[in-house]
Amino acid sequence: MSGIFETDTADSTLFIGGQRISGAQVRNQNVLAAASIANVVKTSLGPVGLDKMMVDELGDVTISNDGATILNLLEVEHPAGKILVELARQQDKEVGDGTTSVVIIAAELLKRANELIKNKLHPTAIITGYRLGCREACKFIAENLAIKVAGIDRDTLRNIAQTTLSSKILGNYGTRFADLTVDAILAVKRTDFRGKPKYPVSSVGILKIKGGSAQESQTINGFAIQRPFVSQAMIKKVESAKIACIDFDLSKVKMKLGVSVVIEDPEALEAIRKREGDITRERVSKILAAGANVVLSARGIDDMYAKMLADAGAVAVTRVSKEELRRVATGTGATIISTLSNLEGDEVFEPACLGSASSVEQLTLSDDDFVVVKTLKDSSCSTVLLRGANDHLLDEMERSLHDSLCTVSKVLESGSVVPGGGAVEAAVDVYLETLASTLGSREQLAVAEFATALLCIPKQLAINAAKDASDLVSKLRAYHSASQQPQANSNRQALKYYGLDLMNGSIRDNKRAGVLEPAINKIKMLKSATEAAIAILRIDDLIKLLPEQQPEDPHAH
């Protein structure tokens, strides 16, 4: 029972049925957990990174080199490890790329902080130094490294998409998918209430169809829904489509549970049955009377009513996912209707709820039927049709495409890029090291370690490319050091855009080579990694409660 008061012991048992680990031991455990997670993903970093194969308990296989996907599929038990998994997930959600880098940097920051603590530097001083380092690094990136690209041309966008795709499975197909990405994201342009342009990635649909080569992938100006028309009797194409988006069943109305009707006359029973069918028939008639010739439903449509629609020359698609239905409704100007009842209790379908499209057509590709909704000229929507050999390949292609869509979207919205290939990390390392030497406090050590930790990215890039990491990183630092000298002329200042050329194992001007990334990616990555490292660094006590043991029932046997 005295264990809870023994604060100087590293490990003590609590009287409440659990375990307590304090001080250096808990820090070492946390750092080890973070390093283990970084070790899992670090070989997948960069254009020559390797893929991981994950097999779950059901035997489902996932092959990927996307950091967030890999970590999501791992069953991480350690609490500090879970923080890093959440960090990668957040980076993927906010920015879409840089998920592997953010985990590697966070783990490196923790490792270096732990060494400083062993050398008797207090965690609070390290946290202050890290915060200072992160703030100065973000400021330096925004002021000195970010390249403003006003009126972004197509070539720049293609380079940005290509940089993201180079480390993915789609990087092997030249600029094919970079062009698809740019076409898809430019098609979904819209403006917010302040008049600023927005490029929502969620407006780009991705449809995966097995069979065919990846080179056969294409962009469709409209929506593609991986469902056929509900009946073979329906016409295959509708021009000048008026679309009704509904979220209720068009099936025979059944009485609610708990409702009982006592009938003595068998004819009255038949009348009730007939009325149940007539209610839905009237609903279909009201939808058709409003001018609808296409019905997209999130629920089912019975054969009887599908025949009614087919006889009227209308087409219908059932079981459309809610997300796709929302996307179609937004792009065509339709309103999703969940009930026909108005405020007075009458059933009406307003023509104003219909959306418009130039055509709706059912197509077939390698035995898969799908419906294409071609929108009007001024609509902001697009769909990328991905072709591939099997499901594993298509899933990884979708993840890769999503990342490149996110990066191009971020550049179009923020308007600034930075050179890739470890250029930013090397430049910030040189800058922070100089800054650290001007600090007259204990934080100097933490800022210097923060700077050195950033070099783990160019080092890992070089290692994954089977190049001499020490040699390349030393050269890269020399270039950036020369560019930051006070007397540096314009030729020397251009050295700040120099990064790694991993194919040839040399240093090159990555701005000229077109290896570009969104500036916001790097800034978000540094901020997130620092916050995660600080959150884990603040922990100096781990109290783990054991699951309560149920007392055995003596009468059980």
Cα–Cα distance for residue pair 494/491, rounded to 1 Å = 5
| Sheet of strand 147-148, all strands in order from the earlier edge strand to the far edge | 147-148, 416-419, 516-518
| Residue whose structure tokens are 């179009």 | 412
The count of other CB atoms within 10 Å of the CB of residue 173 is: 16
| Sheet of strand 18-22, all strands in order from the earlier edge strand to the far edge | 11-14, 18-22, 541-545
What spatial distance separates the first Cα and last Cα of the chain, rounded to whole Å?
Answer: 35
The count of C-alpha atoms lying within 13 angstroms of the C-alpha of 166, restricted to the half-sphere facing its C-beta, is 22
| Residue whose structure tokens are 């659990």 | 18
501 included as an active-site residue: no
Pairing outcome for strands 336-337 and 222-225: unpaired
Question: Catalytic residue among 62, 69, 99, 156, which?
Answer: 99
- From residue 553, alpha-carbon distances to 550, 556, 557 in Å are 9, 5, 8
100 included as an active-site residue: yes
Cα angle 311-312-315, degrees, rounded to a multiple of 5? 90
Cα–Cα distance for residue pair 97/399, rounded to 1 Å = 10
Whether the CB-CB separation of 436 and 451 falls below 8 Å is answered with: yes
403 included as an active-site residue: yes
Cα–Cα distance for residue pair 129/444, rounded to 1 Å = 7
Cα–Cα distance for residue pair 250/80, rounded to 1 Å = 51
The count of other CB atoms within 10 Å of the CB of residue 306 is: 24
Q: Torsion over CA of 387, 388, 393 and 395, rounded to 10 degrees?
A: 20
Helix, strand, coil tally for the chain in percent (to 5): 50, 20, 30
Question: Catalytic residue among 92, 97, 395, 403, which?
Answer: 403
| Residue whose structure tokens are 């973070």 | 34
CB under 8 A, 24+ apart: contacts of 61-64: 61/392, 62/392, 62/395, 63/392, 63/396, 64/395, 64/396, 64/399
User: What DSSP letter does each residue of 59-74 carry, written as one string?
Assistant: --EEEE--HHHHHHHS
The count of other CB atoms within 10 Å of the CB of residue 437 is: 10
Question: Catalytic residue among 62, 69, 100, 164, which?
Answer: 100
7 included as an active-site residue: no
- From residue 175, alpha-carbon distances to 158, 165, 272, 473 in Å are 8, 9, 64, 29
| Residue whose structure tokens are 């379908």 | 349
Residues in the chain: 557
Helix (H, G, I), strand (E, B) or coil at 499: strand
- Catalytic residue numbers, as ranges: 66, 99-100, 403
